Amino acid sequence: MMTTCETNDETLEKTRSIREMCDAYGVTPRTLRFYEAKELLFPIREGQKRLFTKRDAARLKLILRGKRFGFSLEEIRQLLDLYHIGDQQVTQLSRTYEIAQERLADMERQRDELEEAICELKEQLRWGEKVIASMKTSQEAAE
């Protein structure tokens, strides 16, 4: 049987400092403190020192992935909170899937709008080239 001291020692061995988390995940200390303030991460506090557990590391991976996909921090927080419902993450995964589908549709719509804008800009540039070339030709003929 483990004593409280052994459990604490085991927990401390599996923790990372704020610097180690920053180095491992390419984030700033300010980012980690912000996520803590938003109740996305829950490091162990020892005075001013923060110790991040494996759970925090896993949550940070999911936060960063969610951000990369354009999820809001509130959506990410809600999805992370669904982990503890006790249904083997069925609810969490189902809701994540729904939000991901919505986000993919948004991204595809944005891509289509961007592709249309790019085509229009290219047409304008071709027109501009012709106008500039014509003006230069007219100017050279006048000289």
Q: What is the mean pLDDT of the chain?
A: 89
pLDDT given at position 10: 47
Cα atoms in the Cβ-side hemisphere of radius 13 Å centred on 73: 10
pLDDT given at position 1: 37
User: How far is residue 71's CA from residue 11's CA, in Å, rounded to a whole number?
Assistant: 31
Q: Cβ distance 70 to 34 under 8 Å?
A: no
Global pTM value: 0.70
- 43 secondary structure, DSSP code: P
Predicted confidence (pLDDT) at residue 69 exceeds the cutoff of 80: yes
pLDDT given at position 4: 38
- Kindly list the domain boundaries of the chain, sorted by start residue: 13-68, 72-143
Fold of the CATH domain 13-68 = Multidrug-efflux Transporter Regulator; Chain: A; Domain 2 (1.10.1660)
User: How far is residue 80's CA from residue 57's CA, in Å, rounded to a whole number?
Assistant: 13
Cα atoms in the Cβ-side hemisphere of radius 13 Å centred on 53: 13
